[in-house]
A and B are shown apart, each in its own frame.
Chain A
Amino acid sequence: MSQLIIDNLHVEVESDAGAKEILRGVNLTVDTGQTHAIMGPNGSGKSTLAYALAGHPAYTVTAGTVTLDGEDVLAMSVDERARAGLFLAMQYPVEVPGVSVSNFLRSAVTAVRGEAPALRGWLKEMRGAMANLSVDPSFAERSVNEGFSGGERKRHEILQMELLNPRFAVLDETDSGLDVDALKVVSDGVNRVRAGGEVGVVLITHTTRLLRQIPVEFVHVMWQGRIVAEGGPGLADEIEANGYEQFTGATV
């Protein structure tokens, strides 16, 4: 088993008005095999947590620690974190013109696995993974995310997750912009990876839609850069019924 421990994480961003603290002491421990949900209204800091874990340069950690099996994640570069087994499915994946999906996936898999996969087996693996996510084979030759619809981008993120097989995956609003069918395809993908039992998953969402497709054991509510409530799956049902007011009201 592996363990990701986020302890008292404080994160700032640079804004026109100077540095602004977004995360104000986040604590979260995830074991492989577990699935957590982080819920919270828009602007509460969920994506900031995801980006800070991935090492995005716009987010500065001012206090706290993140460790993966005792190793200091914050000391690692962006790509070292990925090679250590962290994966972030982004809310808004960017376009990379002129870089084909197949070239990108092969480069990523080569980097994370530490060696280039043999060509024959690789093509089969990639095509299989694409078929599983109902991604048309023609996408292999398209530029990364260029001209992809919102739903196609999300499927492409999960495709990467399946191929890179991370130890810890953070999925930021992977359900947003998906119709019912696409939501099923994407959550089936996540559930396939989870079934391996060797990944810890953090689902970031502000609705309960995804949680009806992917069973979670732990629910955390984020508000104003802190986790203000924690519980089991029942907490998500409560939020569904009563909204966030009970938590946001309590802390203001």
Chain B
Amino acid sequence: MGEVSMSSLRSYDLADFPIPTGREEVWRFAPRKALKPLLEDVGSDGHLEWETTLAGLELRAIDADEARARAASAPVDRISALAAAHSGQAMLLEVPADTNHPEPLLIDLRGTGREPVVWGQLLIEVGRGAKATVVVRHTGTAQYAGNISVVVHDGGSCEFVSIQNWSDDSVHAGHIATRVGRDARLRSVVVTLGGEAVRLVQTVDYSGPGGDVDVRGLYFADAGQRFEHRSFVDHAQPHCRSNVVFKGALQGEGARSVWVGDVLIQPTAVGTQTYEINRNLLLDDGARADSVPNLEILTGDVVGAGHASTTGRFDEEQVFYLRSRGITEQEARRLVVLGFFADVLDGIDVPMIRSELMRAVEAELGYVHEAEH
């Protein structure tokens, strides 16, 4: 059980976040070369293309001051501070209190090229007692630093999905800041499938007791792809729960993933229940997964706290077993890999998104459906 690796510093002041050298704990795994343009303090008028399906709600632009006032958290690192500074305005999706939106609210963000760099900020706010599912999809080509803030007010409930399915020459880094109020619930899923380098830092904060947060992640890194996911759950309120599950598959030369899961249970956070787990599946040689869980407990009164991390090779005995029942090798591999991801995929309540993601994982495996032959 280690100390959390993230500094608790949250700040809009760029001076707090010098250009990393790579020796810093939080940057030591990062693909700094690919991220270089996103670490430079240079403004840009670049933007992504937005397309939304919001069932009567709308996105509205807010200025930087309002964005600061509403954001779940101040930036956590240089890239998120730069994104806040250079995005100018932010886009806000507000779900009114006590409304229910069973249909997913979709926000599609599409990159149109590597140049110029894009800085962006998106805020999602789920009002008191409201219920909503929000899906953000990133596709196309970009070098993008984007912050997403998700605030769930008291008694609210939000399912939040962020999908990164960029082209192979895209670079994306940013901060997913989440905060839940009293007795509020957030289930988040971060899915990273495409991009040259993707580095996402998710923070979880509680602003009242009884908050309940699931932080899930799924990634599939191919040859040459570098995906880094960090989560920092800061338990500062009593009787809250967090459950962190990240599952990754890697295949091909130079495929690389990093997961660092920090959970801090503050002295004030009595009655906390938390668990975090990361599992990596190496589909062949040449791939590498780093996995670092850190759990720091500063109170004597926890309901439960634990972590686990495993990285293992693909189990050919499972494939043999399925094939011995007549199932083709390709189908057997598909079943085993989808099975590996099942506890993340099954947690996605939107059937359309779940099947889209299953298809995307199948595509990573080179799987072609019978009907499509």
Q: Are A79 and B329 in contact (CB under 8 A)?
A: yes
Does A78 count as interface, using CB distance less than 8 angstroms? yes
Known: A96-B336, A99-B339. A82 touches B320 (CB 8 A): no
Judge if B57 is at the interface, Cβ distance under 8 Å: no
Chain B interface bracket (under 10, 10 to 19, 20 to 34, 35 or more): 20 to 34
CB pair A103 B340 closer than 8 Å = no
Contacts of A88 in B (CB 8 A): 324
Q: 29 A-B contacts, Cβ less than 8 Å apart?
A: A55-B324, A78-B320, A78-B329, A79-B324, A79-B325, A79-B326, A79-B332, A82-B324, A82-B325, A90-B321, A90-B324, A93-B321, A98-B338, A98-B339, A98-B340, A98-B341, A98-B343, A99-B335, A99-B336, A104-B322, A107-B327, A108-B325, A108-B326, A108-B327, A111-B325, A111-B326, A111-B331, A143-B342, A164-B326
Q: A144 to B336: give the CA distance in the assembly, Å.
A: 11
Q: How many residues of A contact B (CB 8 A)?
A: 29
A160 on the interface (CB 8 Å rule)?
yes
The 4 A-B residue pairs with the shortest CB-CB distance, nearest first, are A98-B339, A98-B342, A111-B326, A108-B325
Which residues in B have their C-beta under 8 angstroms from that of A99? 322, 335-336, 338-339, 342
Instruction: Give the residue of A54, A78, A96 whose beta carbon is less than 8 angstroms from that of B318.
Output: A96
Q: How far is the CA of A160 from the CA of B324 in the complex (A)?
A: 11
Nearest CB of A to B280, in Å: 14
Pick from A77, A93, A95, A104: contact of B323, CB below 8 A: A77
B247 nearest in chain A by CB position: A98
* A112 proximal to B (CB < 8 A): yes
Q: Does B318 contact A83, Cβ atoms closer than 8 Å?
A: no
Task: Tell me how far the C-beta of B348 lies from the nearest C-beta in chain A, rounded to whole angstroms.
Answer: 14
Residues of A at the B interface (CB closer than 8 Å) are 54-57, 77-79, 81-83, 88, 90, 93-99, 103-104, 107-108, 111-112, 143-144, 160, 164
Once bound together, how far apart are the Cα atoms of A81 and B326, in whole Å? 7
Question: Contact: B325 with A97, CB < 8 Å?
Answer: no
> Which of B323, B338, B341 gathers the greatest number of chain A CB atoms within 10 Å?
B323
User: Nearest chain A CB to B55's CB is how many angstroms away?
Assistant: 32
List of B residues within 8 angstroms of A111 by Cβ:
325-328, 331
B65 at the interface (CB under 8 A from A): no
Residue of A nearest to B325 (CB): A108
Instruction: Report the separation of the CA atoms of residues A111 and B342 in the bound assembly, to the nearest whole angstrom.
Output: 22
B317 and A94 contact, CB distance less than 8 A: yes
CB neighbours (8 Å) of A164 from chain B are 325-326
Q: Does B316 contact A (CB under 8 A)?
A: yes
